[in-house]
Amino acid sequence: MRRREFITLLGGTAAAWPLTALGKVARIAIVHPSHPVALLTGESPSPGIRALFTELHRLGYIEGKNLLIERYSYEGRAEHDPNLARDVVASKPDLIIAVGDSVVLDFKTTTKTIPIVAILGNPVEAGIVPSLARPSGNITGVTTHVGLEEWDKRIQLLHEVVPRLTRLGALLSKQARDQWPDAGRKATEEIGIAWIRPALDHPIDDAEYRRVFAALVENHADAIVVGQEAVNITNRKLIVDLAQENRLPAIYPLKVFVEAGGLMSYGSDQSQHGRSAAYIADQILRGAKPSDIPFMQPTKFELVINLKTAKSLGLTVPATLLVAADDVIE
């Protein structure tokens, strides 16, 4: 169900320590819903995870000297795992970095005292905090998108590349579909597109992705929008390959999908998420209260287009989009 990795503390001198409480070694637990623990390092293929470690290092936290990290993962096998949350809390870290709505919700019900730095979609919509500006309690963090308008923007961009679009599929977990019932509704109604949303159910693995893609094809989807969920990011190569195999044009939430061969993406910068989480973690380890730290929201958004993939699908990308793109992969 889950894996845990413990990094043993090596020697270090107090002179190298950042301003943690009373000069103690900082103990952080990182919990991810789908990345294997081996990828939760500074060499991770995930830009967000790499940026988290790079920024912690820049702020003076050196793993094996003045930083102790425990890594945990649900590995995509469960929507909730309260036992894992209890294990993490029982180890009494100074701070927990938790990724994804379901993971943060598990910790919200497990501890009211250990500070939690959350990296997730919209914590207000998920019922995690009452306000981004005043989160209250022991949870603050980083939002990875700014709301439903991102879904509308992606659909509009995809429609420009696939003007024949009449039936649009979505790749979402059941939890995300239920949490965001209005995602994309405005854009689909304005354009006149039928919305097809078969849901991924746990355990979310290779077979489950193939089942949902088969349902999308069976329901005659012309293209798909991929949801910005951690499990989708972990499985991005599989998703991109299945989209290609089924000749389904797709727009993705992050650049890493396009780098893996996806058609196009529009979304926030993963590296910014990681840097922001590290900054907040540092503030808390120096004595700040999570309730006094507003959630940080993304400020940089990227449009990325893969012309090679567009050509393989027989699509022509309008010149206006190519000019507007932040990156074009040829």
> Rounded distance, CA 37 to CA 1, Å?
13
Does residue 19 surpass a pLDDT of 70? no
Tokens of 72: 């945990």
Question: 3-state DSSP call for residue 285?
Answer: helix
Residues 82-135 pLDDT 10s: 899 999 999 999 999 999 998 999 999 999 999 999 999 889 988 999 999 999
Residues 164-185 pLDDT 10s: 999 999 999 888 777 766 666 7
pLDDT of residue 190: 84
Does residue 39 surpass a pLDDT of 90? yes
> Rounded distance, CA 144 to CA 296, Å?
9
pLDDT of residue 174: 85
Domains and CATH numbers, the chain: 3-146+269-292 (3.40.50.2300), 148-268+301-329 (3.40.50.2300)
Does residue 315 surpass a pLDDT of 70? yes
- The percent of residues in the chain predicted with pLDDT above 70, rounded, is 91
pTM of the model: 0.87
Q: What mean pLDDT is predicted for residues 278-286?
A: 97
pLDDT of residue 9: 30
Contacts of 31 (CB under 8 A, 6+ apart): 72, 73, 74, 84, 85, 88, 96, 97, 98, 99, 103, 107
Tokens of 155: 């659909």
Residues 187-237 pLDDT 10s: 778 889 998 989 999 889 999 999 999 999 999 999 999 999 889 999 999
pLDDT of residue 197: 87
- The percent of residues in the chain predicted with pLDDT above 90, rounded, is 75
> Rounded distance, CA 320 to CA 224, Å?
22
Contacts of 196 (CB under 8 A, 6+ apart): 167, 168, 169, 170, 216, 219, 221
Contact call for residues 142 and 296 (beta carbons, < 8 A):
yes
Confidence of residue 24 (pLDDT cuts 50, 70, 90): confident
| Eight-class DSSP state of 22 | G
pLDDT of residue 184: 67
Give, in order, the Cα–Cα distances in Å from 42 to each of 53, 63, 69, 167, 239: 5, 10, 12, 41, 25
Question: 3-state DSSP call for residue 116?
Answer: strand
Which residue has tokens 């990011």? 233
